[in-house]
Amino acid sequence: MTHVYKLLLLGLALLATTVVGCTEDPANEKYRSEPPTLNGITAKSLSNDTETIHVGEKIVLTAQQKNTGRLLGLAKYSWTLDGTAIGSKRQVYFDEDSSNPSDTVTINTAGEYKLTFSGTYNAKGNVQAWSAKHGTSITYSFEGDVNSRVVCSVRPGYTPGFDITASTKIKVLP
């Protein structure tokens, strides 16, 4: 019985060490996840690299990052035009590919549209420090773009992370 008792105590000691060793200190900078900060969305003609867009030509959509964020894992990106999905959904492992999210699309009808980028970023560290500083979300506009709006929200829970939605207006000429 004493042998079993010793093994049980050893097992409990190992479990306690593992639990204590794996807890994150939210105050420790090296464990903090932070979302990217966007500073613009561009829609440029693939043929001439300008923001003058015409019906039927290929357009490169890019969410410009001012800061790339830190301690982020899986990221999922998508784009909508007036609420309708365009382009392809993309998944990247953010720490391996933190480049500006982009896609190439074609718009077949002239007009003014609301272009929206959506990004979901899973955190590899803790999100409590960001929440303590910003609350559950922050909203801002791109500098010099009165039609823009960016909302960055923290996602607590089992898979913590950040959700970013950014939009602006674009014009497609005939």
What Rg, from alpha-carbon coordinates, does the chain have? 22
Reading across the β-sheet that carries 58-67, which strands appear in turn? 37-45, 58-67, 102-106
Structural domain of 123: 26-173
CATH label of the domain that carries residue 126: 2.60.40.10
Is there a domain that residue 128 lies in?
yes
Is there a domain that residue 110 lies in?
yes
pLDDT at 18: 41
Is there a domain that residue 92 lies in?
yes
Q: Which DSSP state fits 111?
A: E
* Tokens linked to 68: 């790339």
pLDDT at 23: 55
pLDDT tens digit sequence for 71-82: 999 999 999 999
pLDDT at 19: 42
Cβ neighbours around 64 below 10 Å, total: 17
pLDDT at 21: 43
User: Based on the structure, what is the number of domains in the chain?
Assistant: 1
pLDDT at 11: 55
Nearest to 80 by CA among 145, 171, 167, 174: 167
Is there a domain that residue 17 lies in?
no
pLDDT at 30: 87
Torsion of CA 14, 15, 19, 20, to 10 degrees: -40
**Residue located via tokens 């999100």:** 127
pLDDT at 7: 52
pLDDT at 28: 77
Counting as low any pLDDT under 70, the low residues of the chain are 1-27
**Contact 158/63 with Cβ under 8 angstroms?**
no
